[in-house]
Structure formats: C-alpha cells, structure tokens
Amino acid sequence: MLKLPAVRRMLALSLLGRIPMAAVSVVLVVHVTQHLGHNYAMAGVLVAAETTAAAVGSPWRGRRLDQVGLRASVLPSIVVMGIAWSIAPWVSYWPLVICASIGALMMIPTYSVVRQVLIDAVPERDRKGVLALDSIATEIAFMAGPILGIWLATSIDTRVALLAVQALFVAGGLLLWIDNPPLGQTDHDRVNRQPLRTWVSPAFVGVLIVCFAAVFVLMAGDIATISALREMGHPKLAGLILASWAFGSMIGAAAYGIAHRPIPSYWLLLGLGLTTIPVAMATNPAQLTILLFVSGFMCGPTISATIEDLSHVVPLAVRGEAMGWHGSALMVGAAAGGPVIGLAVDHSGWASGFLVAGLGGVIIALAVLILSNLRRRARNSMPA
C-alpha cells in the first residue's frame, strides 16, 4: 500500500495536519497559566470549550464534504481558522476562549478527509490495512505533537508558539485544498444524498458507542499514569512511559492491519478494557511500562476497527458526515473520561483510574456485543 502515491501523499499530509492538532492543547495550557497568569482550572475550561466546539462542528463539516466536495468545504475552514488563530494569541482570556471555539467549530476536517481518501485509494480487501497505517500515523502525530508544543511553548513567547502551531495546521489544510484528492463520492451521490434518518442504523450507533468507550478507557493512560509516577517518585519518566504505551498501540495497529480476517470493534474494545484493568497492579515504573505496553497493543486496533466498521454500515454518499460523527464520539469520550477518571484518581488513588476505565470498557463492549447478537438473530429469523 505504501507503494501507492495517493497513500504516501495522504499519510504525509495527515501528519502535517495532526501534529499541530495534538500540540495545540499543551500550548494553550502553558499560554493560559504562564502568559495570562490564570490557574489550571481556567486552562481546562478553555480546552474543554475548544473540544466541545470541535465535537459540535465535526458532523457538520463532514456533511459539507459530502455536499460540496473537498475544496468548497475546506476553504471556509482555512479562512476562518486563519483569522481566529491570528487574533487568539494576542487577546485576554475570554476573547481567547471565543476565538478558540470559533476556530474549533470551523476546524479543517483533516481526519474525515484523510480516511475517506485512504479508503478510496485501495481495494476493499486492503481497507483494514490502510486504516491500520492511518492509526500508526495518528500515534506518531500524538507522540510528536505534545513534544513539539512543549518545546515551542517553553522556548519562545507562548503567543508566537500558539500562532506557529495553528499556522502549521492551516498550512496543512491549504495543501489539502491544493492537492484536492478524490473522496470517493460522485456528483450523483451529492445530488441524491440520503437524509440522516434513512442511514442511521443500530449498527452505526453501536460503532459510535464503541468509539466513545475506547477513548474513555484511554483517558486512564494519560491521567492515572502521571498520578502513579508521582506516587512512585518518578514523575520525569511520564513522557518515556507514555511513549512506550503509544509504541504498543502502533505495533497493535500493524498486527491488526496484516490480520486476514476483520475483527469487530466491540471485541477489540473488550480486549482493551481487559488489558487496562491489570495496569492497576503495577508497583514500580518497570511494571507500569510493561502493562501499559500490553494495553497499548489494543488501542490502535480498536480505533482502526471502528473506522472500518463504520465504512461498511453507512452509504458512500454520507461517509464524510459519518466520519464527522465518529470524530465527535471520540471527542465526547475524551471529555467524559477526563473528569470521571480524574475523580476516581482523586478519591481512591491512581489504581482506581485504571480499574474504572477498564471496567467501563468491558461493560460497554459486552452490552454492544449482546445487542449485536440479538439484532443478528432477529434478522436471521425474519422470513425470506
């Protein structure tokens, strides 16, 4: 698949868009706490406002992709984001919240574009593999992004750092606009779009629930790991250990990509939950690293499988909007997981963060599995 120019080009463009996306949150936190002089709670409010706006805007931006195509839908995002983030670094806190929310609402739909292009670029038999490559690229972005963000925010004025990160994001969108890769839809698809009520099925909702639950579980890796290392007296190892977790996810995504048979996303979510629970038993950084690596092995495959499942349960004509809902489910999972896992850690220690996340993933996976089996039996029992 890497021999295909369209795949190579799109993976490179995806990194240019995703690395700044992964960097901006840490830059915002440093900017609010150091340059503006506010506390971490207000920094959290800003990040939450940006995430909420992105979650609201994601399906709408995906729908515009389906309706008018890449160039016509991405150009307004480039213009609005360029203006909003040119103003945001130089204003006080509340105007910054407004600018960040407007920019997030009109965010360039990088994930929807990249995944649609990759799916269109390969035959269906290679879809699982190309989505695994996308998952690996995502892990690279989320390893490199925070490192880039922290380096910029601590090396130069945070206003300049914020401007630089978002300028990279806008530049990635501009390159997408120039390249204008095919998304798979035809003019006939755009003219004859199906209303939402005609294609939202129980299977589609089940995929979104798995997306939500997967990111809910993954929030334990960020929050509980940092808390655990502080308690163990090794807080400086956080970056290295979280990188090993991401590396495990990359290896898992690669293994998923070369598997001969598709694996339903709810089975992988079940595995993610079951491998997250034992992390609570770690007693030192070495054990924590090994257990997180094993848990990470299930991360990449779970997210990749949700995208593959989604691509099979929605019509091609609405794939952009469906990918937008997929992105919203991921963001809502992060928004819900952060406070819940944080509350568990605050009240019962870091180990409870992994237990709550893992058990939550297991329960939701079993619920989706049972409902899926019931739906399949009901379909099979219907008269021909």
Average pLDDT for 27-52: 82
What band does 186 get if pLDDT is binned at 50, 70 and 90? low
What band does 381 get if pLDDT is binned at 50, 70 and 90? low
214-263 confidence digits (pLDDT tens): 988 988 777 788 788 888 888 778 778 888 888 888 899 888 888 777 78
DSSP secondary-structure letter at 2?
T
Q: What is the pLDDT of residue 272?
A: 95
Model confidence at 99: pLDDT above 60: yes
162: domain CATH number is: 1.20.1250.20
DSSP result, 364-384: HHHHHHHHHHHHHHHHHHS--
Distance (Å, whole) CA 235 – CA 30 = 18
Q: What is the pLDDT of residue 193?
A: 60
Model confidence at 368: pLDDT above 80: yes
Q: Are 359 and 277 in contact (CB under 8 A)?
A: yes
**Quick one: 238 and 180 in the same domain?**
no
What would the two tokens of residue 288 be? 């924590």
**Quick one: 245 and 128 in the same domain?**
no
**Quick one: 202 and 177 in the same domain?**
no
**Quick one: 349 and 361 in the same domain?**
yes
Q: Which residue has the tokens 């700044």?
A: 20
Domain end point (choices 158, 192, 226): 192
Model confidence at 191: pLDDT above 80: no
**Quick one: 88 and 102 in the same domain?**
yes
What band does 309 get if pLDDT is binned at 50, 70 and 90? confident
Q: Which residue has the tokens 């129980």?
A: 202
Which range, 20-29, 172-181, 194-203, has the best average confidence (pLDDT)? Answer: 172-181
Closest C-alpha among 99, 67, 95, 59 to residue 83: 99
Give the list of residues 6+ apart from residue 384 with CB closer than 8 angstroms, or none. none
Distance (Å, whole) CA 257 – CA 263 = 11
122-164 confidence digits (pLDDT tens): 888 888 888 888 888 888 887 788 778 878 888 889 899 999 9
**Quick one: 148 and 254 in the same domain?**
no
Domain end point (choices 174, 192, 210): 192
Q: What is the pLDDT of residue 382?
A: 60
**Quick one: 182 and 325 in the same domain?**
no
Count of residues for the chain?
384
Q: What is the pLDDT of residue 80?
A: 94
Higher model confidence: residue 215 or residue 39?
Answer: 215
* Helices 70-87, 40-68: crossing angle, 10 deg rounding: 160
Give the list of residues 6+ apart from residue 173 with CB closer than 8 angstroms, or none. 17, 74, 77, 78, 81, 108, 110
Domain end point (choices 192, 223, 249): 192
Alpha helices in the chain (DSSP H): 5-30, 40-68, 70-87, 93-105, 110-121, 127-155, 158-179, 187-191, 196-199, 202-232, 238-258, 265-276, 285-296, 299-313, 319-348, 350-381
Model confidence at 268: pLDDT above 90: yes
Average pLDDT for 277-302: 92
316-329 confidence digits (pLDDT tens): 878 888 888 888 88
What band does 361 get if pLDDT is binned at 50, 70 and 90? very high
Q: Are 357 and 96 in contact (CB under 8 A)?
A: no
**Quick one: 94 and 33 in the same domain?**
yes
Percent of the chain whose predicted confidence (pLDDT) is above 90: 29
Distance (Å, whole) CA 359 – CA 35 = 40
Phi–psi pair at 143, nearest 5 degrees: -85, -40
Q: What is the pLDDT of residue 289?
A: 92
Give me the domain span that covers residue 377: 194-384
**Quick one: 208 and 183 in the same domain?**
no
What would the two tokens of residue 146 be? 């925070």
What band does 267 get if pLDDT is binned at 50, 70 and 90? very high
**Quick one: 248 and 153 in the same domain?**
no
**Quick one: 298 and 220 in the same domain?**
yes
**Quick one: 257 and 374 in the same domain?**
yes
Total of domains in the chain: 2
Q: Which residue has the tokens 């991401």?
A: 246
